[in-house]
Amino acid sequence: MERSGFFRAMIDNLHDGAYFVDRDRRIVYWNKSAEELTGYPSEEVVGRTCDDGILLHVDEDGKDLCKDVCPLAETLKDGELREAEVFLQHKSGDPVPVAIRVAPVRDRRGGITGAVELFSENSALLTARARIDELEKIATLDPLTRLPSRRCLEQEMASRVDELARFGRTFGVVSIRVDRIARIISAFGRDVGDDVLRMVGNTLIYNCRPFDVIGRWGGAEFVGTVVGVERGGLIKVAERLRALIGKSMLPLADGTVSVTVSVGAVMAEWGDRADVLIERAEEMMQRSRGRGRDRVTVWK
């Protein structure tokens, strides 16, 4: 076996996704694990530049790294090794949390000729998948999104209210509604509308914290509990989910569909009832819609 063939076979059998770029950030190699982790086969990727909308790396605040502070681009400039935890966009449209490592590729004289990036599933994703398996065993799931159903959320809310009253464990409630879903259904049909709700549901389940619970309340509305936070932490979680959903895109035969969400949030206080907390969160969500959508409003 030739030396190049040996290294190609070795890289293709890595558990981590791996791709190589030249000085112009043009992808020259894309291994098998990269295909599995992103949904993109090699023939759709090789020859394109990594910043032309393939992976769409974003940070936890939804900031587009490919167009701004790209770890790979920085390594091409200074030759430094870099590590980061980011989200890449799967071909299905879902943002997937990954840990990335970037290193320069040098010629015999030490000059930088390109870079290699390794990426692997973040532990948060693995935790989310384990949580889905657990929920399938202990609770009823919404048949469309595979998220906890309204009944499960009601039980979760009652437990959190009880823990707040007995132990003082703080939590918040978020109400998240997909903006202009009726327009999407009118333009593309009910099946695309359902796919959009699945996409939003996947974004929520894979990117909320392992100890929070978010499910489908009904229609295009999702409700969740955010535990162990004060008001500032609740806002940060709500803004993060809003931004990540806004970065998700559903591929269609002739383009893509993206959506925004309006979010309402409320901190639970001693003596609050679960139904009152839901009403307040929904009121704040409606206020976000009235203020232009794609924003978070918190009960004061």
More confident: 254 or 282: 282
E runs forming strands in the chain: 17-22, 27-30, 82-89, 95-106, 112-121, 171-178, 213-218, 221-227, 249-252, 255-258, 261-267, 296-298
Q: What is the pLDDT of residues 222-277, one digit of tens each?
A: 999 999 999 999 999 999 999 999 999 999 988 999 999 999 999 999 999 999 99
The Cα angle at residue 86 between residues 80 and 90, in degrees rounded to 5: 120
The pair of three-digit structure tokens given for residue 157, joined into one six-digit string: 């809310």
Mean pLDDT of the region 27-35: 92
Identify the CATH homologous superfamily for domain 3-121: PAS domain (3.30.450.20)
Write the class of the CATH domain 125-298.
Answer: alpha beta
Per-residue pLDDT reduced to its tens digit, 71-80: 999 999 999 9
CA-based diameter of the chain, in Å?
Answer: 72
Q: How many residues does the chain have?
A: 300
Break the chain into its structural domains and give their ranges.
Answer: 3-121, 125-298
100, pLDDT greater than 80: yes
Mean pLDDT of the chain: 89
